[in-house]
Amino acid sequence: MSQTVVVIGMGLIGGSIAQAIKKSNQQHKVIGVDLDERTLEHAKLLDVIDEQSTSIKEAAEVADTIVIATPVSKTVEIISTQLLDVELKDNVVITDVGSTKLTVIKAAEKLVERGVVFIGGHPMAGSHKSGVHGSRADLFENAFYVLVPPENQESEKATEHLKQLLEGSNAKFVTMDAKSHDVMAGSVSHLPHIVASALVHQLKGLEEEHPMITNLAAGGFKDITRIASANPIMWRDILLHNKDVLQTMMEDWRDDMERVTELIKAADANGLHAFFADAKRHRDGLPVKKAGAIPTLNDLYVDVPDHPGVISDVTGYLAECEISITNIRIIEAREDIMGVLRLSFRSVEERSRAEACLQSHKFTTYVGE
C-alpha cells in the first residue's frame, strides 16, 4: 500500500532515508522538507524526493509517516512546538534519527498524549561526505539501526511498519529503551569524540614550541582522531542532550587517566603492561566486519614501489575489476622508500573485491582492524 512519507531535513541522513524508502516501495511518495530551497531543488533533481516543501505544517498534515532528520536540538524544537500545532492524521507514525534518545522521547510525550505513535530512531552510520549530495540508499547497509518504541501494543505494529518502510536500507534493526541507548552510544561514540577532540587540542597547544609536530601527526594520529573532524554543531547538541550519562563517563575516564599517571610516576612496569595488555585483549575480542556506532571507512592499505605511474596502475586494475574508490590517500611516498596508499570503499564487500583484485596483480595489501 502506498504511503506519503515526509522527511524533515535534507542532509546526508535525511536524503539517505528518503532513498531507502523509495527503494523499498516505488509507490511511496516522499516529500522532503527543508528551509533551504536550493537543497530541496537538488534533492528533487537527484530523485531523492518526489515533492518538496519549506513548510513543516503543510507537509505533516498529509503524512502517513514523518521522519525528523535534523540535529537533536532542532528535533526537540520541531516536536515540542511545530508538530503540536498540526492536525495530523489519526494513524500517523513519527520517528527521528538523533544520536540521543531520552530528551527526544521526553519531548514527544505531548504528541503521544494526543494518540500519535512516536518511535525514537538512531541509524548508526555515516559518511565522510555531507549533505544531500552524499546521500545514498545503502548508507545504512549492515549498520545497526536502533528503534526505541513506546511500551504499548500499538508500538509493535508501528515498529514493524517502520522496519518495512526502511527495508531498502538493509540495516540491522534492534530495539531498546532510551536510557540503554544513551549509555551505550555515550560509551562507544560520544566519549570517543570528546577524547579525539581533546587529543587534537593538545597537539595544537604544542605546535608553537614544536612546529614539526604537525608533520609527525600526519599518519596514525590523523587516523585515531579523524572523528574530531565531525560537525561541531551536531556534537555540541549531542553532548548537551546526553550530559547526565557523559558526566559519569568523563569522571570514570578521569579516574583511568589518573591511575595511568600514577603508574608512570611510580615507574610501575608491571602495572603499565597490565593496563595495555588488558586493553589489547578486550579490543582484539571486538566483533570484526560489523558496522558499529562510529562509521568505518572500509579502508584497504596497499604497499606500492617508488616508480612513475604506480598509482595509475592501482586505479587502472581496480577500474578493470569495475570497483569504485570513494577516497584515495598517499600515506608514504618518499624517494627509494616503499609507499603506502590508503584506499576507501563504500562497503566491506567492495573492499574485499579490491583486495583480491590487487593481490592478483602481485600487490601487497592489508586491512586495519
- Domains for the chain: give ranges and CATH numbers: 4-176 (3.40.50.720), 181-284 (1.10.3660.10), 299-366 (3.30.70.260)
* Average pLDDT of span 98-110: 95
Highest mean pLDDT out of 30-34, 86-90, 293-297:
30-34
Closest listed residue to residue 361, CA positions, set 310, 298, 299: 310
- % pLDDT > 70, the chain: 92
Q: Is 38's pLDDT higher than 90?
A: yes
Residue 335's pLDDT is: 38
Q: Is 336's pLDDT higher than 60?
A: no
Amino acid identity for residue 227 in this structure: I
Residue 291's pLDDT is: 59
Are residues 110 and 84 in contact, defined by beta-carbon separation less than 8 angstroms?
yes
**Pairwise pLDDT comparison (291 vs 30), residue with the higher score:** 30
**Pairwise pLDDT comparison (130 vs 194), residue with the higher score:** 194
Residue 224's pLDDT is: 85
Q: Collect all residues with Cβ–Cβ distance below 8 Å to 65 and sequence separation of at least 6.
A: 3, 4, 5, 6, 92, 93, 94, 95, 161, 162, 165
Of the candidate ranges 26-40, 99-113, 137-151, 254-268, the one whose mean pLDDT is the lowest: 137-151
Average pLDDT, the chain: 89
Classified as helix, coil or strand, 206 is helix
Are residues 84 and 116 in contact, defined by beta-carbon separation less than 8 angstroms?
no
Residue 331's pLDDT is: 67
* Distance between CA atoms of residues 22 and 166, nearest Å: 9
> Please, which pLDDT band fits residue 358 given cuts at 50, 70 and 90?
very high
* Distance between CA atoms of residues 122 and 298, nearest Å: 21
Q: Is 337's pLDDT higher than 60?
A: no
**Pairwise pLDDT comparison (118 vs 217), residue with the higher score:** 118
Residue 41's pLDDT is: 95
* Distance between CA atoms of residues 160 and 287, nearest Å: 27
Q: Collect all residues with Cβ–Cβ distance below 8 Å to 264 and sequence separation of at least 6.
A: 272
Q: Give the cell for residue 336.
A: 627509494
Question: What is the residue-wise DSSP string for 116-142?
Answer: -EEEEEEE----S--SGGG--TTTTTT
> Please, which pLDDT band fits residue 165 given cuts at 50, 70 and 90?
very high
* Average pLDDT of span 2-25: 93
Q: Is 30's pLDDT higher than 90?
A: yes
* Distance between CA atoms of residues 322 and 307, nearest Å: 25
Classified as helix, coil or strand, 192 is helix
Question: What is the residue-wise DSSP string for 16-46?
Answer: HHHHHHHHH-TT-EEEEE-S-HHHHHHHHHT
What pTM did the predictor assign? 0.78
Classified as helix, coil or strand, 146 is strand
Residue 65's pLDDT is: 97
Q: Is 334's pLDDT higher than 50?
A: no
Residue 346's pLDDT is: 76
CB environment 5-38: b (16+ within 10 A), e (fewer)? bbbbbbbbbbbbbbbbbbbbeeebbbbbbbeeee
* Distance between CA atoms of residues 26 and 167, nearest Å: 12
> Please, which pLDDT band fits residue 18 given cuts at 50, 70 and 90?
very high
Q: Is 94's pLDDT higher than 60?
A: yes
* Average pLDDT of span 41-70: 96
